[in-house]
């Protein structure tokens, strides 16, 4: 394996130092390092961050390879600075057996752009009727620790309690898509004054908040771990804050798009802004940013949801929900959190690497940049500015809400166990 010497990178945005990567590990960190035969990378002005970890990625394979594959999705992840992703279970067939999660895990290993950790379904076929093979998936080669019916809510309280109890045996976590189904039938956008003006059926905040309130109580009752997917309302933040203050073992994530975009964009009727949960109000955005800054929300997760053009380029009511986000996530977080002074780069490392890795129980990811740690890192240029052109994305789909926008920062290089997956902003 090639030895790499990274010269003059600003560790977490602080003092510049050199990093020597050898045998998949960080061998040394210091100034004026040299190593005969090492490949040298000039990182003057670049911020060194631990490799990012995404808790919420849709890779679509198996079943919807027209939208994304493990190969293209993990290329997009590497270009976004990620060294590990959790692949959601709503594939076809659903990842509800040891066989399917092992298939996704092996495809990730073969692609080699980042580690792929499959998320197992909570219920068979995501149908919400009976538990999937949680234990078999945990014992499989994929060693699944995160389970979710994402896209659908585990709305049956008894089933949710049983799932929470079951995963305790192997320190798993239930990642809930909090959406009360009866309250969101045919819902198209955030419920409020604007939904009335536009004539679109509203998606009330209480549909999310009611499920979170129920689940934190259930998790506390059985002493299990609960993770709340893509929190989107100020009320949800207050429930999670209350639960944490009582010692409940609950964690939560927010998407980059819910940190930046608001429901006002829906007034264009452009389906690229149709997402689940929906874009909310500016007040919600401010509450989510504050909660991520103070740690009430633990992590940023992309909810990267690729769709082919035929599923998005249609009238609003018929369009699929979701938007891609792996290749823009760090830039959006810089725009929403760093340039507003709410997080520094150490905070970004905590919310986009350390904490997601701990939630997913990943031993070799989300480690501080220190001698002896796995050489998983990204080098980022925060001074860059770029105009989003989805035709240049590695993702097979193009449904980004940022097309034509100028965003800050670019990933220059990504290393996975000391091997570059991205160099000079391109797949290595």
The residues annotated as belonging to the active site are: 303
Q: Are 264 and 308 in contact (CB under 8 A)?
A: no
To the question of whether residue 150 is assigned a binding role by annotation, the answer is: yes
Kindly report the number of other CB atoms within 10 A of residue 185's CB atom.
9
Q: Check residue 413 and report its DSSP letter.
A: E
To the question of whether residue 221 is assigned a binding role by annotation, the answer is: no
> What is the rounded CA–CA span in Å between residue 366 and residue 369?
9
**235 backbone dihedrals φ, ψ, rounded to 5°:** -65, -40
To the question of whether residue 280 is assigned a binding role by annotation, the answer is: no
To the question of whether residue 58 is assigned a binding role by annotation, the answer is: yes
The token duo for 110 is 């073969």
To the question of whether residue 258 is assigned a binding role by annotation, the answer is: no
To the question of whether residue 90 is assigned a binding role by annotation, the answer is: yes
> What is the rounded CA–CA span in Å between residue 402 and residue 126?
31
Paired residues of 323 in beta bridges:
304
To the question of whether residue 230 is assigned a binding role by annotation, the answer is: yes
To the question of whether residue 59 is assigned a binding role by annotation, the answer is: yes
Residue with structure tokens 């998790």? 219
> What is the rounded CA–CA span in Å between residue 176 and residue 114?
25
Residue ranges of alpha helices (H) inside 30-86 are: 70-79
To the question of whether residue 177 is assigned a binding role by annotation, the answer is: yes
Cβ burial of 156 (10 Å; 0-12, 13-18, 19+) is middle
To the question of whether residue 86 is assigned a binding role by annotation, the answer is: no
To the question of whether residue 227 is assigned a binding role by annotation, the answer is: no
**217 backbone dihedrals φ, ψ, rounded to 5°:** -70, -40
3-state secondary structure of 195: helix
Binding-site annotation, residues: 56, 58-60, 90, 150, 177, 230, 276, 303, 307
Binding-site annotation, residues for Zn(2+): 56, 58, 150, 177, 230, 303
């Amino acid at each position: 394996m090639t030895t790499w010497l990274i010269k003059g990178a600003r560790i977490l945005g602080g003092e510049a130092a050199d990093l020597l990567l050898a045998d998949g590990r960080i061998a040394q960190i210091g100034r004026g390092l040299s190593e005969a035969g090492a490949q040298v990378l000039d990182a003057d002005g670049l911020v060194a961050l631990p490799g990012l970890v995404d808790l919420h990625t849709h890779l679509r394979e198996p079943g919807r390879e027209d939208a994304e594959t493990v190969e293209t999705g993990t290329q997009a992840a590497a270009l976004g600075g990620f060294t590990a992703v959790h692949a959601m279970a709503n594939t076809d067939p659903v990842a509800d057996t040891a066989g399917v999660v092992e298939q996704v895990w092996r495809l990730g290993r073969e692609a080699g752009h980042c580690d792929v950790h499959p998320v197992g379904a909570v219920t068979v076929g995501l149908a919400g009727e009976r538990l999937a093979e949680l234990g078999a998936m945990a014992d499989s080669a994929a060693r699944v620790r995160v389970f979710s019916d994402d896209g659908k809510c585990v709305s049956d309280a008894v089933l949710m309690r049983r799932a929470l109890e079951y995963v305790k045996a192997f320190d798993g976590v239930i990642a809930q898509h909090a959406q009360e189904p009866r309250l969101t039938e045919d819902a198209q956008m955030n419920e409020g004054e604007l939904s009335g003006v536009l004539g679109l059926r509203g998606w009330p905040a209480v549909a999310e908040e009611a499920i979170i309130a129920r689940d934190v109580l259930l998790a506390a009752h059985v002493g299990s771990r609960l993770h709340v997917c893509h929190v989107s309302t100020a009320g949800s933040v207050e429930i999670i804050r209350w639960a944490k203050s009582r010692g409940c073992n609950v964690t939560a994530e927010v998407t980059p798009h819910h940190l930046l975009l608001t429901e006002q964009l829906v007034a264009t009727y452009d389906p690229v802004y149709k997402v689940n949960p929906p874009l909310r109000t500016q007040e919600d955005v401010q509450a989510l940013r504050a909660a991520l800054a103070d740690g009430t929300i633990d992590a940023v997760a992309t909810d990267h949801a690729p769709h082919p053009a035929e599923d998005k380029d249609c009238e609003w009511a018929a369009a699929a929900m979701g938007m891609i986000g792996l290749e823009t996530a760090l830039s959006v977080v810089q725009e929403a959190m760093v340039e507003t002074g709410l997080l520094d780069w150490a905070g970004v490392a905590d919310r986009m690497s350390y904490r997601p890795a701990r939630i997913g129980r990943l031993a070799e990811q989300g480690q501080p940049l220190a001698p002896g740690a796995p050489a998983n890192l990204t080098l980022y240029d925060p001074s860059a500015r770029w105009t989003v052109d989805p035709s240049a994305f590695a993702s097979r789909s193009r449904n980004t809400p940022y097309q034509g926008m100028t965003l800050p920062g670019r990933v220059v290089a990504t290393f996975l166990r000391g091997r570059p997956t991205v160099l000079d902003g391109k797949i290595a």
